[in-house]
Protein backbone atom coordinates (compact mmCIF):
# COMPACT_ATOMS: atom_id res chain seq x y z
CA UNK A 1 0.00 0.00 0.00
CA UNK A 2 1.61 3.25 -1.13
CA UNK A 3 1.05 6.68 0.32
CA UNK A 4 -1.48 9.12 -1.12
CA UNK A 5 1.44 10.83 -2.88
CA UNK A 6 1.86 7.74 -5.09
CA UNK A 7 3.24 8.72 -8.50
CA UNK A 8 1.60 5.79 -10.31
CA UNK A 9 -1.46 7.16 -12.19
CA UNK A 10 -4.40 4.97 -11.23
CA UNK A 11 -7.19 7.02 -12.81
CA UNK A 12 -6.80 8.14 -16.40
CA UNK A 13 -9.64 10.16 -18.03
CA UNK A 14 -12.00 9.01 -15.30
CA UNK A 15 -11.25 5.32 -15.88
CA UNK A 16 -9.13 2.87 -13.96
CA UNK A 17 -5.91 1.39 -15.40
CA UNK A 18 -7.83 -1.61 -16.77
CA UNK A 19 -10.61 0.57 -18.23
CA UNK A 20 -13.16 -0.07 -15.49
CA UNK A 21 -15.46 2.42 -13.79
CA UNK A 22 -15.07 2.79 -10.03
CA UNK A 23 -17.82 0.31 -9.19
CA UNK A 24 -17.12 -2.34 -11.85
CA UNK A 25 -15.99 -5.85 -10.96
CA UNK A 26 -13.26 -7.49 -12.99
CA UNK A 27 -14.35 -10.45 -15.15
CA UNK A 28 -15.41 -13.25 -12.84
CA UNK A 29 -15.90 -16.92 -13.66
CA UNK A 30 -16.41 -19.88 -11.34
CA UNK A 31 -16.42 -23.57 -12.27
CA UNK A 32 -17.63 -26.25 -9.85
CA UNK A 33 -16.42 -29.86 -9.53
CA UNK A 34 -12.98 -29.41 -11.08
CA UNK A 35 -11.24 -32.02 -8.88
CA UNK A 36 -13.13 -35.32 -9.21
CA UNK A 37 -11.29 -36.90 -6.22
CA UNK A 38 -12.28 -34.12 -3.81
CA UNK A 39 -15.56 -34.09 -1.90
CA UNK A 40 -16.11 -30.60 -3.24
CA UNK A 41 -14.10 -28.32 -5.48
CA UNK A 42 -14.20 -25.14 -7.50
CA UNK A 43 -12.01 -22.93 -9.63
CA UNK A 44 -12.24 -19.15 -9.82
CA UNK A 45 -10.86 -16.80 -12.44
CA UNK A 46 -11.29 -13.25 -11.24
CA UNK A 47 -9.41 -10.63 -13.25
CA UNK A 48 -5.87 -12.01 -13.31
CA UNK A 49 -6.45 -14.27 -10.28
CA UNK A 50 -6.67 -18.02 -10.86
CA UNK A 51 -7.41 -20.02 -7.74
CA UNK A 52 -8.46 -23.62 -7.19
CA UNK A 53 -10.04 -24.99 -4.01
CA UNK A 54 -10.51 -28.59 -2.90
CA UNK A 55 -12.60 -29.56 0.13
CA UNK A 56 -12.19 -32.91 1.89
CA UNK A 57 -14.41 -34.07 4.73
CA UNK A 58 -15.96 -34.30 7.16
CA UNK A 59 -13.35 -37.02 7.68
CA UNK A 60 -11.47 -38.61 10.54
CA UNK A 61 -9.47 -36.09 12.52
CA UNK A 62 -5.69 -36.50 12.30
CA UNK A 63 -4.17 -36.60 14.88
CA UNK A 64 -7.12 -38.19 16.64
CA UNK A 65 -6.31 -36.62 20.01
CA UNK A 66 -6.85 -33.21 18.39
CA UNK A 67 -10.50 -34.02 17.63
CA UNK A 68 -13.38 -32.33 19.39
CA UNK A 69 -16.32 -34.42 20.60
CA UNK A 70 -18.50 -31.32 20.03
CA UNK A 71 -17.76 -30.19 16.50
CA UNK A 72 -15.73 -30.69 13.33
CA UNK A 73 -12.41 -28.85 13.13
CA UNK A 74 -12.23 -26.53 10.15
CA UNK A 75 -8.74 -26.57 8.67
CA UNK A 76 -7.79 -24.13 5.96
CA UNK A 77 -4.56 -23.94 3.99
CA UNK A 78 -4.09 -20.98 1.61
CA UNK A 79 -0.99 -21.27 -0.54
CA UNK A 80 0.40 -19.15 -3.32
CA UNK A 81 2.36 -21.00 -5.99
CA UNK A 82 5.89 -19.69 -6.64
CA UNK A 83 4.87 -18.79 -10.20
CA UNK A 84 1.68 -16.96 -9.14
CA UNK A 85 3.11 -13.51 -9.57
CA UNK A 86 6.14 -11.79 -11.02
CA UNK A 87 7.35 -10.54 -7.66
CA UNK A 88 10.87 -11.60 -6.87
CA UNK A 89 9.94 -12.65 -3.31
CA UNK A 90 7.65 -15.39 -4.60
CA UNK A 91 8.77 -18.78 -3.30
CA UNK A 92 7.13 -22.07 -2.53
CA UNK A 93 6.12 -23.17 0.95
CA UNK A 94 4.35 -21.44 3.80
CA UNK A 95 5.09 -17.83 4.71
CA UNK A 96 3.84 -15.38 7.32
CA UNK A 97 1.39 -14.08 4.74
CA UNK A 98 -0.02 -17.51 3.82
CA UNK A 99 -0.38 -18.34 7.54
CA UNK A 100 -2.31 -15.10 8.12
CA UNK A 101 -4.55 -15.59 5.10
CA UNK A 102 -5.25 -19.24 6.01
CA UNK A 103 -6.28 -18.04 9.48
CA UNK A 104 -8.62 -15.23 8.41
CA UNK A 105 -10.27 -17.40 5.75
CA UNK A 106 -10.72 -20.25 8.25
CA UNK A 107 -12.27 -17.88 10.79
CA UNK A 108 -14.80 -16.66 8.24
CA UNK A 109 -15.95 -20.24 7.63
CA UNK A 110 -15.94 -21.18 11.32
CA UNK A 111 -18.74 -18.66 11.70
CA UNK A 112 -20.76 -20.25 8.90
CA UNK A 113 -20.28 -24.02 8.85
CA UNK A 114 -22.62 -26.06 11.05
CA UNK A 115 -19.62 -27.85 12.54
CA UNK A 116 -21.51 -29.26 15.54
CA UNK A 117 -23.25 -31.70 13.18
CA UNK A 118 -19.95 -33.55 12.68
CA UNK A 119 -18.19 -34.19 16.02
CA UNK A 120 -14.74 -35.85 16.03
CA UNK A 121 -14.06 -34.96 12.40
CA UNK A 122 -12.18 -32.37 10.38
CA UNK A 123 -13.04 -30.49 7.22
CA UNK A 124 -10.02 -29.56 5.09
CA UNK A 125 -10.17 -26.57 2.78
CA UNK A 126 -7.15 -26.38 0.46
CA UNK A 127 -6.76 -23.20 -1.54
CA UNK A 128 -4.06 -22.88 -4.18
CA UNK A 129 -3.40 -19.56 -5.89
CA UNK A 130 -2.03 -20.35 -9.35
CA UNK A 131 -1.98 -16.75 -10.51
CA UNK A 132 -2.30 -13.64 -8.32
CA UNK A 133 -3.54 -10.20 -9.27
CA UNK A 134 -4.71 -8.54 -6.04
CA UNK A 135 -7.66 -9.65 -3.92
CA UNK A 136 -6.64 -13.28 -3.61
CA UNK A 137 -8.00 -13.59 -0.06
CA UNK A 138 -11.46 -12.41 -1.10
CA UNK A 139 -11.39 -14.57 -4.25
CA UNK A 140 -10.34 -17.48 -2.01
CA UNK A 141 -13.34 -16.97 0.27
CA UNK A 142 -15.67 -16.83 -2.75
CA UNK A 143 -14.28 -20.02 -4.32
CA UNK A 144 -14.04 -21.92 -1.02
CA UNK A 145 -17.69 -21.14 -0.24
CA UNK A 146 -18.67 -22.73 -3.55
CA UNK A 147 -16.39 -25.75 -3.01
CA UNK A 148 -17.87 -26.26 0.49
CA UNK A 149 -21.38 -26.13 -0.93
CA UNK A 150 -20.30 -28.65 -3.60
CA UNK A 151 -18.99 -30.93 -0.81
CA UNK A 152 -22.44 -30.78 0.80
CA UNK A 153 -21.11 -29.13 3.97
CA UNK A 154 -24.08 -27.42 5.67
CA UNK A 155 -23.62 -23.70 6.24
CA UNK A 156 -25.85 -21.10 7.88
CA UNK A 157 -25.57 -18.84 4.88
CA UNK A 158 -23.59 -18.30 1.68
CA UNK A 159 -20.65 -15.93 1.85
CA UNK A 160 -19.34 -13.60 -0.84
CA UNK A 161 -16.29 -11.37 -0.73
CA UNK A 162 -14.63 -8.47 -2.49
CA UNK A 163 -11.85 -5.98 -1.83
CA UNK A 164 -12.79 -2.32 -1.84
CA UNK A 165 -10.50 0.65 -1.35
CA UNK A 166 -9.20 3.96 -2.56
CA UNK A 167 -7.09 4.33 -5.67
CA UNK A 168 -6.07 7.57 -7.36
CA UNK A 169 -8.02 9.39 -4.63
CA UNK A 170 -11.31 7.67 -5.59
CA UNK A 171 -13.24 4.91 -3.84
CA UNK A 172 -13.06 1.75 -5.93
CA UNK A 173 -14.59 -1.72 -5.99
CA UNK A 174 -12.52 -4.86 -6.58
CA UNK A 175 -8.97 -3.52 -6.55
CA UNK A 176 -6.50 -5.09 -8.92
CA UNK A 177 -2.89 -5.60 -7.96
CA UNK A 178 -1.63 -2.18 -9.12
CA UNK A 179 -4.43 -0.45 -7.23
CA UNK A 180 -3.77 -2.62 -4.19
CA UNK A 181 -0.04 -1.87 -4.27
CA UNK A 182 -0.13 1.82 -5.23
CA UNK A 183 -3.53 3.04 -4.03
CA UNK A 184 -4.25 4.77 -0.73
CA UNK A 185 -6.32 2.08 0.92
CA UNK A 186 -7.33 -1.55 0.59
CA UNK A 187 -10.16 -3.15 2.53
CA UNK A 188 -10.86 -6.84 1.85
CA UNK A 189 -14.23 -7.84 3.12
CA UNK A 190 -16.51 -10.92 3.25
CA UNK A 191 -20.25 -10.74 3.87
CA UNK A 192 -22.91 -13.40 4.39
CA UNK A 193 -25.60 -13.19 1.74
CA UNK A 194 -28.85 -13.44 3.71
CA UNK A 195 -27.86 -12.06 7.11
CA UNK A 196 -25.47 -9.37 5.77
CA UNK A 197 -22.95 -10.19 8.48
CA UNK A 198 -19.33 -9.17 8.04
CA UNK A 199 -17.21 -12.29 8.34
CA UNK A 200 -13.88 -10.76 7.35
CA UNK A 201 -12.76 -7.15 7.38
CA UNK A 202 -9.16 -6.02 7.13
CA UNK A 203 -7.77 -2.67 6.16
CA UNK A 204 -4.55 -1.16 4.90
CA UNK A 205 -3.90 2.54 4.46
CA UNK A 206 -6.12 5.46 5.35
CA UNK A 207 -9.85 6.15 5.00
CA UNK A 208 -12.13 8.65 6.71
CA UNK A 209 -15.17 7.46 8.66
CA UNK A 210 -17.42 8.79 5.91
CA UNK A 211 -15.43 6.91 3.26
CA UNK A 212 -15.69 3.69 5.27
CA UNK A 213 -19.48 4.02 5.38
CA UNK A 214 -19.64 4.62 1.61
CA UNK A 215 -17.24 1.83 0.89
CA UNK A 216 -19.29 -0.64 2.92
CA UNK A 217 -22.31 0.08 0.71
CA UNK A 218 -20.14 -0.37 -2.35
CA UNK A 219 -18.82 -3.67 -0.99
CA UNK A 220 -22.34 -4.90 -0.25
CA UNK A 221 -23.40 -4.27 -3.84
CA UNK A 222 -20.19 -5.95 -5.03
CA UNK A 223 -20.81 -9.01 -2.84
CA UNK A 224 -24.30 -9.33 -4.33
CA UNK A 225 -22.79 -9.46 -7.82
CA UNK A 226 -20.25 -12.08 -6.68
CA UNK A 227 -23.06 -14.08 -5.10
CA UNK A 228 -24.90 -14.18 -8.42
CA UNK A 229 -21.86 -15.75 -10.10
CA UNK A 230 -21.43 -18.25 -7.22
CA UNK A 231 -25.07 -19.33 -7.33
CA UNK A 232 -25.05 -19.54 -11.12
CA UNK A 233 -21.90 -21.74 -11.07
CA UNK A 234 -23.50 -24.18 -8.61
CA UNK A 235 -26.73 -24.27 -10.59
CA UNK A 236 -24.84 -24.93 -13.83
CA UNK A 237 -22.93 -27.80 -12.21
CA UNK A 238 -26.02 -29.54 -10.87
CA UNK A 239 -27.95 -29.07 -14.11
CA UNK A 240 -25.27 -30.55 -16.33
CA UNK A 241 -25.36 -34.22 -17.34
CA UNK A 242 -23.76 -36.92 -15.14
CA UNK A 243 -20.16 -37.64 -16.16
CA UNK A 244 -19.71 -34.46 -18.18
CA UNK A 245 -16.16 -33.13 -17.84
CA UNK A 246 -15.78 -29.81 -16.09
CA UNK A 247 -13.36 -27.47 -17.84
CA UNK A 248 -11.27 -25.06 -15.75
DSSP for 48-109, please give it: TEEEEEEEEEEEE-SSGGG--SSSPEEEEEEEE-TTSSS-TT--SS--HHHHHHHHHHHHHH
Residue from 167, 180, 183, 226 in contact with ligand ADP (CB under 6 A): 180
Print burial letters for 211-238: b (CB count within 10 Å at least 16), e (below 16): beeebeebbbebbebbbebbbebbeebe
Question: Given candidates 8, 9, 62, 87, which one binds ligand ADP under the rule CB under 6 A?
Answer: 87
Given the complex with ligand ADP, which of 136 and 160 has the nearer CB atom? 136
Q: Minimal distance in Å, beta carbon 108 to ligand ADP?
A: 13
Q: Which of 8-16, 60-68, 77-85, 240-248 is the region at the interface with ligand ADP (rule: CB under 6 A)?
A: 77-85
Closer by beta carbon to ligand ADP, 20 or else 236: 20
> Does residue 211 sit in helix, strand or coil?
helix
Pick from 64, 89, 194, 247: which binds ligand ADP (CB under 6 A)?
Answer: 89
Vertex 83: Cα angle to 94 and 21 (nearest 5): 105
Choose, by CB under 6 A, the member of 57, 58, 134, 168 that binds ligand ADP.
134
Binding site for ligand ADP (CB under 6 A): 80, 84-85, 87, 89-90, 97, 132-137, 163, 177, 180, 188
Amino acid sequence: MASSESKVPLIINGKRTDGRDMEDLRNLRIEVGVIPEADGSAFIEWGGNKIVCGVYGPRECIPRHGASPYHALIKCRYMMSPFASLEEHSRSGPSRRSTELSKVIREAFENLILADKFPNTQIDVYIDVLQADGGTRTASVAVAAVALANAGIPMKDMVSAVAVGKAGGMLALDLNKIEDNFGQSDMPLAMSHRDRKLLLVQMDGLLTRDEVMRILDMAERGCDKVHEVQAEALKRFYEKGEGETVKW
